[in-house]
Amino acid sequence: MTEQIRQILRDHARLAVPVDTLADGDDLHEAGMTSQASVGVMLALEEAFDVEFPDRMLRRRTFESVDAIQAAVREVAGARAGAHA
């Protein structure tokens, strides 16, 4: 999953540095991701993982790092799987 997330960041996050130079826990906002870019990242994540982030998760920290994004995707994917069980 992390490589897929990193590719989405390459395509949409508009970072000031190459994604490959960032560790999974590094702050993406400090690396140059703007609020507008985070919307693009969110929409691309929803497309790629077939999930939808609820409004309650639309916080800065949800998309602040690769680790945070992975946790968020797993949370919404798990919630969707539970709803369909």
Partner 1 sequence: MSVGLDLVRVRDVADALARFGDRYTARVFTSAEVAYCAAAPAPLAAQRFAARFAAKEAARKVLRPAGDAPGLGWREVEVCRAPDGGPALRLHGAAAARAAALGLGDLAVSLTHEAEWAAAVVTAVRLPATS
Q: Which residues bind partner 1 (CB under 8 A)?
A: 14, 34-37, 39-40, 43, 47, 55-59, 62
Query: Cβ closer to partner 1: 62 or 65?
Result: 62
Long-range interactions of 75-79: CB distance < 8 A, separation 24+: 76/51, 76/52, 77/49, 77/51
Query: Cβ closer to partner 1: 19 or 41?
Result: 41
The distance of closest approach from Cβ of residue 10 to partner 1 in the complex, given in angstroms and rounded to an integer, is: 14
The distance of closest approach from Cβ of residue 4 to partner 1 in the complex, given in angstroms and rounded to an integer, is: 17
How many other CB atoms are there within 10 angstroms of residue 61's CB atom? Answer: 11
Query: Cβ closer to partner 1: 6 or 53?
Result: 53
Residue by residue, DSSP assigns 13-64 as: T--SS-GGGS-TTS-TTTTT--HHHHHHHHHHHHHHHT----GGG-SGGGGS
The distance of closest approach from Cβ of residue 64 to partner 1 in the complex, given in angstroms and rounded to an integer, is: 12
